[in-house]
């Protein structure tokens, strides 16, 4: 039985990890992460620093707004994403909505605002509006729609805010591709970066703690360094694009561990029944 369990878990692990890559385009991740382009992608945690609040954007209603007009009353959760992304951006947005839904005492528009920063400069406010509507349906709680703002803008303003956030991403204009890390930032009412949560899944207790700090205008500790994100690079042939999504690996590991645990429990129960029978 033990041999069977080990073999099964090993097979599941191999299968799970293979789901993260399209074999027709896969290249060695070590090669990818040695690419000079990776120096342009990541998160430098600029705790206690101001964001570029004077940057100008188009909101989800088509109105021109300054970022600072969305600040000033309460903390703001900033999500640098792009709206056509179906990978890590989608998971990041779902993760943010899930953690907000898990705190019934917190109301968006009263306790904090949410600002999605559309990092692809070709996307329109119509896309932002559609993504906001979809997000509010997923949130499925009574909320003030004005507490949620989905922005689009030109590359200069996007980069200005991204740099101030320490969010390093790369936009390939010719291919209309965005290579980016994943993570969210809590900003105080006066526009100071209070904390980061990297990745695409956020713990309720930790988020509640960081939100309390941001409300008081205080700064938290650095988030654990990790890389989640979508990277389009060409480290080998110059003709194909590799998307690395570490989140797929993490999910594969979690699945394998969960199944392994279940099998071990079942094995233990069977052993217990045999002992009682004997």
pLDDT along the chain (278 residues), means of 10: 48 40 34 49 92 97 97 95 84 93 95 96 96 96 94 96 93 81 93 92 94 96 65 40 44 61 67 60
Nearest in space to 164 (alpha carbons), one of 90, 105, 80, 86: 80
Q: What is the pLDDT of residue 223?
A: 80
Q: What is the pLDDT of residues 44-62, one digit of tens each?
A: 999 999 999 999 999 999 9
Q: Quickly list DSSP for 104-171.
A: TT--BTTTBEEEEEE--TT--HHHHHHHHHHHHHHH-S---GGGEEEEB--HHHHHHHHHHHTEE-EE
Question: 36-230: CATH homologous superfamily?
Answer: Glutaredoxin (3.40.30.10)
Q: What is the pLDDT of residue 41?
A: 81
Contact of 220 with 194, CB cutoff 8 Å:
yes
Burial 151-165 (b: 16+ CB within 10 A, else e): bbbeeebbbbbbebb
Q: Which residues 6+ apart lie within 8 Å of 44 measured at CB? A: 166, 168
Work out the number of other CB atoms within 10 angstroms of the CB of residue 271. Answer: 11
**Ranges of CATH 3.40.30.10 domains, the chain:** 36-230
Q: What is the pLDDT of residues 227-262, one digit of tens each?
A: 445 554 443 333 333 344 444 444 555 566 667 666
* Pairwise CA distance, residues 78 & 116, whole Å: 6
pTM of the model: 0.70
Q: What is the pLDDT of residue 34?
A: 40
């Amino acid at each position: 039985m033990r041999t069977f369990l080990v073999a099964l878990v090993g097979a599941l692990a191999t299968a799970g990890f293979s789901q993260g890559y399209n074999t027709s385009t896969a290249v060695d991740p070590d090669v990818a992460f040695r690419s000079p382009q990776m120096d342009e992608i990541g998160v430098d945690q600029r705790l206690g620093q101001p964001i570029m609040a004077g940057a100008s954007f188009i909101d989800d209603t088509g109105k021109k707004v300054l970022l600072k007009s969305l600040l000033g009353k309460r903390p703001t959760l900033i999500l640098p994403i792009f709206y056509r992304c179906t990978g890590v951006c989608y998971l990041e947005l779902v993760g943010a909505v899930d953690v907000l839904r898990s705190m019934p005492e917190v109301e968006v528009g009263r306790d904090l605002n949410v600002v999605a920063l559309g990092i692809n400069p070709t996307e329109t406010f119509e896309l932002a509006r559609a993504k906001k509507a979809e997000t509010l349906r997923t949130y499925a709680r009574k909320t003030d729609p004005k507490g949620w703002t989905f922005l689009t803008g030109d590359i200069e303003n996007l980069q200005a805010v991204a740099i101030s956030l320490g969010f390093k991403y790369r936009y390939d204009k010719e291919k209309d591709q965005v290579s980016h890390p994943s993570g969210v930032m809590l900003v105080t009412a006066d526009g100071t970066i209070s904390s980061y949560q990297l990745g695409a899944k956020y713990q309720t207790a930790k988020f509640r703690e960081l939100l309390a700090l941001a409300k008081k205008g205080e700064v938290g500790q650095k988030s654990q360094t990790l890389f989640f994100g979508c990277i389009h690079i060409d480290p080998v042939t110059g003709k194909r694009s590799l998307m690395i999504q570490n989140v797929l690996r993490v999910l594969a590991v979690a699945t394998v561990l969960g199944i392994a645990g279940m099998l071990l429990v079942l094995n233990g129960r069977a052993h217990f029944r045999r002992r009682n029978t004997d």
